Amino acid sequence: MMNHVLVRRFIQAVICPFGLLLLVSLARAQQNSVESFDVTQAGGQVLVRVTMKNPIAAAPGSFTIANPARIAFDFPDTTNGLGRNSQDIGEAVLRSMNVVQAGERTRLVLKLRNMVPYESKIEGSSLLITLAATGGAQQAATGGAARFAEG
């Protein structure tokens, strides 16, 4: 009887906490991270490549703001691995970008000179965003469903 009590206490004191730590580690290992942000111009368009640590499973939610002109992307279960929160760009219509992490979600905001149409698509571990270099369109076309921030 005494041995059963000791074994049970050993399991409760040692094994259970290690199991819990293992579960937390596995959950964090599945979390994605924004690793790089590259901007180029081609054919009158601005091409933005956001590269993640792991492949992107689904298109991030996105929305636009007309004044001041902004395009925002929300990445769930994602951290900011860039080492910075903002970067001045100065390429055609793209002024700068901001990356804000709140809890387990990261929001990428592209600050524009004026609102232009855009498209986004996933290529493996990258989100490719194409901005039209000209135009003042008030509406933007997206490659995925537009969703506002979810709690």
Q: What is the pLDDT of residues 21-52, one digit of tens each?
A: 444 444 444 689 999 999 999 888 999 999 99
Residue 18 has pLDDT above 80, yes or no: no
State pLDDT tens for residues 121-137: 999 999 999 999 765 44
Query: How far is Cα 127 from Cα 134, in angstroms, rounded to an integer?
Result: 22
Q: Which of the four pLDDT bands, split at 50, 70 and 90, describes residue 146?
A: very low
pTM of the model: 0.69
Contacts of 4 (CB under 8 A, 6+ apart): none
Residue 53: per-residue pLDDT: 95
Quote helix, strand, coil % in the chain, to nearest 5. Answer: 20, 45, 35
The mean per-residue pLDDT over the stretch 110-127 comes to 95
Question: How are strands ordered across the β-sheet holding 45-52?
Answer: 78-80, 32-42, 45-52, 126-132, 118-123
Residue 119 has pLDDT above 70, yes or no: yes
> Which CATH number fits the domain 32-132, given the four candidates 2.60.40.3500, 3.60.20.10, 3.40.1710.10, 3.90.1200.10?
2.60.40.3500
pLDDT: which is higher, 23 or 81? 81
148, amino acid identity: F
Residue 1 has pLDDT above 50, yes or no: yes
Torsion angle in degrees (nearest 10) through CA of 84, 94, 100, 126: -80
Contact 50, 34 (CB under 8 A): yes
State pLDDT tens for residues 47-58: 999 999 999 988
By CB atoms closer than 10 A (0-12, 13-18, 19+), residue 46 is buried
Residue 70 has pLDDT above 80, yes or no: yes
Average per-residue pLDDT for the chain: 80
Query: How far is Cα 64 from Cα 51, in angstroms, rounded to an integer?
Result: 21
Residue 43: per-residue pLDDT: 85
Query: How far is Cα 90 from Cα 66, in angstroms, rounded to an integer?
Result: 19
